[in-house]
Amino acid sequence: MATSTPFLRPKLDLLCPESDQQIKSLADLLSFNAVNNPSHTFIVQGARSPEKPPLTFTFASFQAAVRGCEEWLKEKLTLVKSLDQSDSVEGYDVPPVALLLQSDAGLLIYLCALLSLDVPV
The full set of domain ranges for the chain reads 26-116
Query: Residues 80, 81, 87, CA angle at the centre, nearest 5°?
Result: 85
118 with 96: CB under 8 angstroms? no
DSSP-assigned letter for residue 118: T
Rg (C-alpha) for the chain, rounded Å, is 17
For 8-54, how does the pLDDT look when each residue is reduced to its tens digit (9 = 90+)?
Answer: 998 877 777 666 677 878 888 999 999 999 999 999 998 888 899 99
pTM of the model: 0.77
44 with 54: CB under 8 angstroms? yes
